[in-house]
Homo-oligomer: A and B are copies of this chain.
């Protein structure tokens, strides 16, 4: 029986629709008999079906941040001009996930291993079957959304005209693998996790808090904390604010990540660790990136601690028709949340430039 968790509802995340693509066989051998993707769309698909933009989601995230921070009239991602499709990744708590499925063969600890490539294949089916979309004006995503963006550009080069991976790599690094492992171990080391068979996410609160604490270090930056940037961030829960960095850590970061589902995070973490477009070319990264025909803007965030520019730049150099477009946020990787207008303006400028490239 699915666990109730108010975090994974339209009330908390904003409206979305569940769209089934039926039986889906995963790369690692598992099967989801009825794969439901949680989809949010903005704008209208034109008759030529050439104004579609796909946005895959990041670790722990949903379509919500994209709706609230990146999409809007007059913005680069303009729903008056484009048909924007945000697809929540498999296992994120809205699409088919360990704690929400009513299929006992894949519930909780029995949820199969999912890869970035699985998400991309599922999205391709969804776009074709549900909307008749066979070519994308743009794929754009941040972090694990960037991993999916890279995978799209390599796996389906003829279907992606433009690609914008933000703060994410085509091939995950060992350093990043080890970081993600610490996130996962913070959860699984909590006795309340119980091998994935907890009775409620709250049983794993200690583990979820330790998981959140790691994000406070690697997700943010020394400048974020030193400048007390958190003073300007709005509380998630009204009345529950903060006046010290320790309170911000407790009432924002721990609170936010503490609402999430442990198995969902673990499903995404395992997937994140293994993002690698070179799986399409027998391990040859240069060959994989060489397949890309999309015009590609590679957009790292300067102070990002785990998808740093020094990991993104070599991939950009291997990608034909690509440019490096650096983003700047005092929040580092969490700049993705769109705390700063200056960061959002940079994103908009780069995406506008990219969308203006004739294809």
Contact = CB atoms under 8 A, between A and B. Distances in A.
B173 A308 contact: no
A321 interface: no
Given A217-B179, A311-B222, A189 B174 contact: no
A189 B186 CA distance: 10
Contact of A178 (B174, B176, B182, B217): B217
Interface stretch (A34-42, A95-103, A149-157, A223-231): A223-231
A310 B226 CA distance: 11
A206 B189 contact: yes
B226 A174 contact: yes
Contacts of A213: 178, 181-182, 185
A220 interface: yes
A173 B310 contact: no
A173 B210 contact: no
Given A217-B182, A218-B217, A305-B305, A175 B224 contact: yes
Nearest to A185: B210
Sort chain A's interface into a size bin: 20 to 34
A173 to B, nearest CB: 5
B189 A249 contact: no
A326 interface: no
A296 to B, nearest CB: 21
Given A181-B213, A182-B217, A176 B222 contact: yes
A216 interface: yes
Nearest to A222: B175
A131 interface: no
B182 A220 contact: no
A217 B311 CA distance: 15
A317 to B, nearest CB: 15
Contacts of A173: 222, 225-226
Interface in A249-292: 249
A322 interface: no
A74 B131 CA distance: 74
A221 B181 contact: no
A311 B173 CA distance: 26
Nearest to A303: B310
Interface string A115-127: 0000000000000
Nearest to A223: B310
A3 interface: no
Contacts of A181: 213
A24 B216 CA distance: 37
Contacts of A245: 174, 178
Contacts of A32: none
Interface in A200-241: 206, 210, 213-214, 216-218, 220-226
Given A175-B221, A305-B305, 17 more contacts: A173-B222, A173-B225, A174-B225, A174-B226, A175-B217, A175-B220, A175-B224, A175-B225, A178-B213, A178-B216, A178-B245, A179-B217, A182-B213, A182-B214, A186-B210, A189-B189, A222-B306
Interface of A: 173-176, 178-179, 181-182, 185-186, 189-191, 206, 210, 213-214, 216-218, 220-226, 245, 249, 305-306, 308, 310-311
11 contacts: A173-B225, A174-B225, A175-B221, A175-B225, A178-B216, A182-B210, A182-B214, A189-B190, A189-B210, A222-B306, A226-B311
